[in-house]
Structure 1
Amino acid sequence: MGPMLLGNFGLGMLLRVPIGFALALASLVTLWILTDTPLTIGAQRIVAGITPFPLLAIPLFILAGGIMNAGGITKRLLNLADAIVGGMRGGLAQTNVLSALFFGGISGSAVADISSLGRILIPAMKARDYKAAYSAAVTAAAPIVAPIMPPSITMIVYGVVSGTSIGQLFFAGIIPAILYIAMLMVAVHLTVRKRGFTDELQANTTNLKLIGKTPKEDRPPFWKSLWGALPALLLPLLILGGIRFGWFTATEAAAVAVLYALVVGIFVYRELTIKKIISSLAESSLMVGLIMLVLAAAQLYSWALTSGRVPQMAADAIFNFSDNLVVLLILVNILLLIAGMFIEANAALIIITPILYPVLTELGVDPVHLGIIIVVNLGIGLITPPVGIALMLSSEIAKVKFITAIRSSWPFLLTGLIYMILITYIPQISLWLPSVLMVGE
């Protein structure tokens, strides 16, 4: 049953069937051919797959992010990032990276961050003498932090599928997210120095001390920028603090985030109008519809895999190959990277987690640490050739050939792979903060 499920899904992808429909059709066709299961069960499983209460957090967090963006958050967070790192080598590229950290705590989606930030930062980088391919590479690599930084949609999905505390997952992602941004900023510093980008409106500067720095007169004042961005920065703190002190669950925190976004946009920033609210609702509904369709179909596919005892057979095959945890984690990294290249992260997570979870937890891997490993690996897959969905999107925004963007992305891909190894083999990076704060749900 497993080979037919995989084969049917692969055929659907080759025929360029949208991933949600490819998953659902692969499941239904396999069940129809190989089992006596009534196909009405498929419809029931699709509905059941998206009814768990914690999944309600996904549309609410997406809506909160949409309202915050419509209410004037974008320019304020960009100004703050520029005020902090604009004076560093590669100032605008560093601003791109740091902005991804700020926005990751709002949107929870790498693709959403590329779509919003990329349309602002890529033209700005090109105007300051950055190559289009390099601009695309930086913009694709930075938002990988979004699924790691709470509130993360992908972590919510993992928590629902595995039964792991979403609150613990949120706190477990904080240090890994900061570490990734720090490593990426180092990579930007080194690559800008080697390539000699000026980051000034004039491309003819020969002063090496100015290479990559935004002139002081062009940078916004720090304290003014911090004050303007403070209401937006408080949202992740409100969510995490509420979960830590037991004021609300992760799902309830999403509802609080929507209310907070409305208050900030209307009464603090005073840029949120009825028209913008309606536009945010429309855009968020479209994104939610796409995500939930994939989740529903992936739940059906996962149920078909489980019904065919594929996880048990996979576990037996893995243990027959090796029971060495280091070897197995290497194989897991490779598997997840490949999955992240071709399959939407949430769908890949739902399909793979039931297979990996019982095997690795039996070998002593903490469920929270496993969640971070999966999320990080699938995120790195977004910039991994030959597909690299995030890199493909940013190259389209930059209007540069995809193969050219791939050539410029290798320093950031290498950084991501080193980061992935650290996260995989040093669990304390992920588990220290939840253990110190003793976070529950």
Structure 2
Amino acid sequence: MIILAIIALLLLAALGAPLYAIIGAVALLGFHLAGQEGVAVAVEFYRLADMPALIAIPLFTLAGYLLAESRAPQRLVRLTNALLGWLPGGLAVVAVLACAMFTAFTGATGVTIVALGAVLYPALLEQKYGERFSLGLLTSAGSLGLILVPSMPLILYGVVAQQFHTTPPVTIDDLFLAGVLPCALMVVMLSVYSIWHARRVGVVREKVSAAELRGALREAAWDLPLPFVILGGIYSGKLAASEAAAATALYVFIVTVLIRREIPWRKLPLVAREAMLLVGALLLILGFSLALTNWLIDAEVPEQLFTAIQTHIASRGAFLLILNVFLLVFGMLLEGFPAIILLVPLVLPVALRYGIDPVHLGILFLANLQLGIFLPPVGMNLFIASMRFGKPVLTLVRASAPFFLILLIAVLIITYWPGLSLALIR
């Protein structure tokens, strides 16, 4: 009976059944085998309402969708170009920074490639950066920002990790602080490579006039306070993550709908609907995942997994190396949200036994996922970039190779230098 149920679940997964249905079925089967009622799964959905940090997800999601539908991407590119365009390789540095910031706000790397690619790709070609470099830069930089405030994957990792009541505890505010320096490392490394490439191919420095800078500042006048609302509020301790999310959503709504009127009232329900469809799917998966997590803990699956791993991997360094490979593979196969929900309950308890700080684990976890998302052969961003730029996937794989190696070095630094993630919080 049990074997038939497992075979049926595997068959349904292979046929493309919804992820939440598979997770829910596994949780129900697990509780049934443990002799518990299926109501234990329903209880987890009730518990979602008692998680204060969870309210940040729909609010930041709505703010991100509103920004994506407005002209904020174009204003962001213009402003960063006016500030940094005079540097050698200035436009490429602008692309890295703009992608990182936009991905942090939207929480979706594919949206960044679609929204900013239309602006940055022709500009990079016009300045003679070369097609291969331009494609690789935008495909890889599109995943930056997943570890930068107010990234939704960071919030989701925090929500899942809090179920384990770790010591030290995992808070959303700590995760937001922990992602700053690792994200800065990735941005700096890509920027240095971009400057080197610009000098090698002889890209002419762009002349940015004072008038252009004033115009860009004036155009972005309503957008500039937004980072200070989020960063200043959270990092100063005056706003919790949920309060910062509410302030962000309200501010973006006022600017995009009421002041700039870039999103008409008749379109607002459609934008909100798309945002809440994502949130609803996420909460559905999360509720079933928490039930599955509780069953895993009750069945002592993490302890058994740790015992099995420890017989082959004794040192913490070797475990971290294997963990990186494991996360890269799953980051390639799964999108960020399902990967977090499915893998954190298995990985976190084992990592704690090896003495890994849970906040540091969250940063290296997401750093690997954002690298795997454009890892061939099936990284999702490769296909999104292929559709956006009209290029074959193999062309994008070759173009992204040097950027992948640079970010891989950054991920290894983040992995084996926990102080980089923990310097601002411990």
Instruction: Give your verdict on TM over 0.5.
Output: yes
Task: Determine helix, strand or coil for the equivalent of 2:223.
Answer: helix
1:395 maps to which of 386, 389, 405: 386
Aligned twin of 1:179: 185
**1:283-432, aligned counterparts within 5 Å?**
283-432=274-423
2:282 aligned partner, one-letter code:
I
1:170 maps to which of 153, 156, 176: 176
Task: Determine helix, strand or coil for the equivalent of 2:424.
Answer: helix
Name the CA distance, whole Å, in 2 between partners of 1:39 and 1:400.
49
TM-score (normalizing by structure 2):
0.85
1:62 deviates by 1.0
Task: Determine helix, strand or coil for the equivalent of 1:385.
Answer: coil
Aligned twin of 1:117: 116
1:185 aligned partner, one-letter code:
S
Name the CA distance, whole Å, in 1 between partners of 2:207 and 2:10.
53
Name the CA distance, whole Å, in 2 between partners of 1:187 and 1:14.
41
Contact 1:102 1:233 in 2 (8 A): no
Contact 1:123 1:398 in 2 (8 A): no
User: Which of 145-154 and 316-325 deviates more?
Assistant: 316-325
2:16 aligned partner, one-letter code:
R
1:394 deviates by 1.4
Name the CA distance, whole Å, in 1 between partners of 2:12 and 2:390.
29
1:44 deviates by 4.4
Task: Determine helix, strand or coil for the equivalent of 2:266.
Answer: helix
1:184 aligned partner, one-letter code:
L
2:301 aligned partner, one-letter code:
V
1:277 deviates by 3.0
Aligned twin of 1:76: 75
Contact 2:303 2:350 in 1 (8 A): no
Residue 23, structure 1, aligned to residue 29, structure 2: no
Task: Determine helix, strand or coil for the equivalent of 1:364.
Answer: coil
Aligned twin of 1:141: 140
User: Which of 41-50 and 221-230 deviates more?
Assistant: 41-50
Deviations 1:190-210 (A, max 9, x none): 45556x4xxxxxxxxxxx352
| Distance change (3 Å), C-alpha of 1:297 and 1:429 | same
Contact 1:341 1:381 in 2 (8 A): yes
Name the CA distance, whole Å, in 2 between partners of 1:77 and 1:380.
24
2:339 aligned partner, one-letter code:
A
| Distance change (3 Å), C-alpha of 1:309 and 1:12 | farther
Contact 1:5 1:26 in 2 (8 A): no
Unaligned ranges ≥5, structure 2: 163-169
Residue 252, structure 1, aligned to residue 252, structure 2: no
User: Which of 102-111 and 422-431 deviates more?
Assistant: 102-111
| Distance change (3 Å), C-alpha of 1:218 and 1:243 | closer
1:307 deviates by 4.2
**1:243-282, aligned counterparts within 5 Å?**
243-266=234-257, 269=260, 271-282=262-273
Contact 1:337 1:380 in 2 (8 A): yes
User: Which of 358-367 and 311-320 deviates more?
Assistant: 358-367
Aligned twin of 1:203: none
Contact 1:50 1:292 in 2 (8 A): no
Deviations 1:236-268 (A, max 9, x none): 332233234443321122111111212333565
User: Which of 420-429 and 270-279 deviates more?
Assistant: 270-279
Contact 1:82 1:219 in 2 (8 A): no
| Distance change (3 Å), C-alpha of 1:245 and 1:187 | closer
1:79 deviates by 0.4
Name the CA distance, whole Å, in 1 between partners of 2:43 and 2:28.
12
Contact 1:57 1:250 in 2 (8 A): yes
Contact 1:5 1:30 in 2 (8 A): no
1:231 deviates by 3.9
User: Which of 137-146 and 219-228 deviates more?
Assistant: 219-228
**1:48-67, aligned counterparts within 5 Å?**
48=47, 52-67=51-66
Name the CA distance, whole Å, in 1 between partners of 2:203 and 2:123.
21
1:340 deviates by 0.8
Contact 1:151 1:170 in 2 (8 A): yes
TM-score (normalizing by structure 1):
0.83
1:9 deviates by 6.8
2:188 aligned partner, one-letter code:
A
Aligned twin of 1:205: none
Contact 1:19 1:343 in 2 (8 A): no
Name the CA distance, whole Å, in 2 between partners of 1:3 and 1:133.
50
> How many residues matched?
418
Percent sequence identity is: 32
Name the CA distance, whole Å, in 2 between partners of 1:399 and 1:233.
33
CA RMSD of aligned residues (A): 3.2
Task: Determine helix, strand or coil for the equivalent of 1:97.
Answer: helix
| Distance change (3 Å), C-alpha of 1:254 and 1:358 | same
Name the CA distance, whole Å, in 1 between partners of 2:302 and 2:333.
21
Task: Determine helix, strand or coil for the equivalent of 1:321.
Answer: coil
Name the CA distance, whole Å, in 2 between partners of 1:347 and 1:3.
25
| Distance change (3 Å), C-alpha of 1:51 and 1:423 | same
1:313 deviates by 1.1
| Distance change (3 Å), C-alpha of 1:95 and 1:248 | closer
Contact 1:61 1:151 in 2 (8 A): yes
1:220 deviates by 7.8
| Distance change (3 Å), C-alpha of 1:272 and 1:315 | same
| Distance change (3 Å), C-alpha of 1:104 and 1:6 | farther
Task: Determine helix, strand or coil for the equivalent of 1:434.
Answer: coil
Name the CA distance, whole Å, in 1 between partners of 2:64 and 2:317.
38
Deviations 1:283-308 (A, max 9, x none): 31233234334333433443443344
1:174 aligned partner, one-letter code:
V
2:223 aligned partner, one-letter code:
A
1:149 deviates by 0.8
Name the CA distance, whole Å, in 1 between partners of 2:174 and 2:255.
27
